Amino acid sequence: MPQHIALKDPHREARIYSARTITAILIVMGLLALILSRYYSLQITEYETYRTQSERNRVQLQPLPPKRGLIYDRNGVLLADNRPSHLLSIVVERVPDLEETLKELQKLVPISASDLENFYKKKARRRPYETVPLRFRLTEKERAQLAVNRHRLPGVTVEAQLLRHYTHGELFAHAIGYVGRINEREAFELDSTDYRGTFHVGKIGVEKYYEDILHGDVGYQNVETNAHGRVLRVLERFDPTPGVDLTLHLDIALQRTAQEALGDQRGAVVAIDPANGGVLALVSTPGFDSNLFVNGISSADYSALRDSPDVPLFNRAVQGQYPPGSTVKPMMALAGLESGLITPEYTVPDPGWYRLPGDSRRYRDWILKIRGTGHAPRVALEMAIAESCDVYFYDLARRLTIDGMYDRLHPFGLGERSGVDTTNERRGVLPSTRWKRDNLNQPWYPGETLSAGIGQGYMLATPVQLAVATTALATKGRHWSPRLVRTIDGEPAPAPELPSVKATPEHWQAVQEAMRAVVHSARGSARKIAQGIEYEMAGKTGTAQVIGIAQNEIYREEDIAERHRNHGLFIAFAPFEAPTIAVAVIVENGGGSSAAYPIARRVIDTWLLDEATGESPVATAVAAE
């Protein structure tokens, strides 16, 4: 330290400091002069302009909310539209006595408690002389009532506004989602400038996922008003940029067929175009009318939907997680072929049950309770898939091990969110020893590997995941993160491709042939739907147990309450040689796959045969290549 002091030269330092001070003073004076010149130009040069502007603040800046982008199906059928609607709003500054006015208004039109609550919230955040909405969607009669009494109600205005309308609310509720009034949390998160003058925002589904581009950009106009707030003259106008229109891959006819085929049953259908990952149909039943949500659903309607045992608000297609059951068998077969554990000719003895070495427990095949024996003395790959033989896959699962299964099934997209462009997607479960350790903190037991081998136990998949996996089966390995939206503002929005499932062509061939036998062979588990079919279809049935069945108990459907019946599943693609559609169907408590495969057939029939769908699916496939 003393060293530094020895080197210090106080005179030099003082000299430098003085120089710096003079520099600083010059800079300070210069910048103050700059500021002063700005105030001079505002207050002297442009005085007249600003004085006029400030006079009683007759000049107002009004936001012009953008028109929300429209949503069309693939054929150009309008699904989400904006319709003019009238809203009652108040300019608080122009109302002599707010409480009195509100009381007066309540005598003229019904105003609910939640309307009032929203009004007060918005009032607290408003800018001076900004209109605050009180009641949405006025009827013709209510408007007339208000118009007659207008002279008594200064500061009360009726404004026209565009409101979302879903032309097929029931049919697309789960696929498109809906908009609703901006709530407090959203008001905080949204850009307050961009949403000035906008009262609605996408809440779920496509409406939420694409909110950014559907919304558009706000505009504004500078208007001169009279003392009562009526606009006299528009001084300056900057038009809003409307939101971008979306065209979906969804096909209204397919959507309708799927909905009708599901009927009163709880379930879901997802259909994907194997050429590009576009979602052709996405239905979850029961649904609801999405228009209910646009203007604040009444609490009675809402509790009815929320408390229904059928959970209509639950989007089974992306949120429903079900044991995939035997629908994993084609993927398991490919895993066995690729890992060299089986060949198409390899056979397994099938007495109707399977036993782990050194374990007395019998793992039964579903056929045991029907025939009292196995499918055949020895079962090979094609029969194992076509007739859905459990023993064959118990044996394969044991040899593959659970972690081997994880490695081979994961590329199909099981256990991962597909990334479909909607909200609330669940990821399902593809179990592994690590998964069980991390999530349940338990070791893996060998018997659990056998359950996993037939898609039971811990394994869970959403219908959309199954549809993606089916796409890979249809295309021999290619699949996409599915997309509901096909074009954005007319520009194609291609689905991101997922890493392909790698396997040799012969192995793909063997699995696909076996899947064809499910439908087209004499003993195929879905042979019933081959009746009168005009094309070749490949599929796989699945039955998922809802409750565990004890060792010696025989399962009898009629004894079990409806809610405990098995889920029915079916995955399929068609036409066999050049697939243009891949479908996954689940029917909750359908009893078995026989509840699901007729639905798939109807959907595929509509897609392949129905001329009324407008666009030729063949043309689509060609265009995509």
Partner 1 sequence: MSDYLRQLPDRSSGLSRRPGAAQRFYLDLPLLGLLLALTAFGMVVLYSASGQDMGAVVRQGRFFLVGYVVMIVAAQVRLQRFERWGPWFYLGGIGLLVAVDIAGVGAKGAQRWLSVGGFRFQPSEVMKLVVPMTVAWYLADRTLPPRFKYLIVCLGIIAVPAALILIQPDLGTALLIAASGLFVVFMAGIGWSYIFGAAVLACASAWPVWMYGLKEYQQQRILTMLSPESDKLGAGWNIIQSKTAIGSGGWDGKGWLRGTQSQLDFLPESHTDFIIAVLGEEFGLRGVVILMGLYLLLLLRGFWIGLHARSSYGRMMAGSLTLTFFVYIFVNMGMVAGLLPVVGVPLPLVSAGGTSVVTLMAGFGLLMAVSAEQRTVKH
Question: Which of 18, 183 has the CB closer to partner 1?
Answer: 18
| Nearest distance from C-beta of residue 8 to partner 1, angstroms | 6
Q: Give residues with Cβ within 8 angstroms of 597, minimum separation 6.
A: 526, 528, 529, 539, 541, 570, 572, 585
DSSP 520-555: HSTT-TTGGGGTT-SS--EEEEEEE-SS---TTPPP
Among 104, 106, 220, 311, binds partner 1 (CB under 8 A): 220
Gap between the Cα atoms of 463 and 445, Å rounded:
28
The single residue listed with the structure tokens 């175009």 is: 273
In this structure, are residues 176 and 166 in contact, taking their beta carbons and an 8 Å threshold? yes
The CB-of-33 to partner 1 minimum distance in angstroms stands at 10
Question: Is 326 labeled as catalytic in the residue annotation?
Answer: yes
- The answer to whether 582 and 474 have CB atoms below 8 angstroms apart is yes
Q: Residue 51, interface with partner 1 (CB under 8 A)?
A: yes
CB nearer to partner 1: pick between 49 and 616: 49
Residues numbered 369-428 forming contacts with partner 1, rule: CB under 8 A? none
Provide the CA 123 distance to its chain's centre, in angstroms.
33
Residue in 290, 326, 525, 593 annotated catalytic? 326
* Residue ranges in 160-203 assigned as alpha helix (H): 169-176, 184-189
Q: Whose Cβ is closer to partner 1: residue 46's or residue 359's?
A: 46
Q: How many residues bind partner 1 (CB under 8 A)?
A: 52
Nearest to 586, CA basis, from 595, 578, 577? 595
Instruction: Give me the half-sphere count of Cα atoms (radius 13 Å) on the Cβ side of residue 63.
Output: 20
Does residue 20 touch partner 1 according to CB under 8 A? yes
239 contacts 231 by C-beta, under 8 angstroms:
no
Applying CB under 8 A, which part among 19-27, 203-211, 364-372, 597-605 lies near partner 1?
A: 19-27
Binding residue for partner 1 (CB under 8 A) from 26, 32, 304, 618?
A: 32
Minimum separation from the CB atom of position 217 to partner 1 (A): 11
Q: Does 527 bind partner 1 (CB under 8 A)?
A: no
- Contact between 235 and partner 1 by CB under 8 A: the answer reads no
Per DSSP, the residues of 96-138 read: S-HHHHHHHHHHHS---HHHHHHHHHHHHHPPTT-EEEEE-S-
Residue 184 as a binder of partner 1 (CB under 8 A): the answer is no
8 touching partner 1, by CB under 8 A: yes
Beta carbons of 71 and 248 less than 8 angstroms apart: yes
| Site for partner 1 contains 535 (CB under 8 A) | no
- By beta-carbon proximity to partner 1, the closer residue of 127 and 141 is 127
241 binds partner 1 (CB under 8 A): no
Least Å distance between CB 187 and partner 1?
13
What span, in angstroms and rounded, lies between the C-alpha atoms of 198 and 284? 30
Q: Would you name the residues annotated as active-site residues?
A: 326
**Chain positions contacting partner 1, by CB under 8 A:** 1, 4-5, 7-10, 12-14, 16-21, 24-25, 28-29, 31-32, 34-36, 38-40, 42-44, 46-47, 49-51, 53-57, 61, 63, 127-128, 191-193, 196, 218, 220, 238
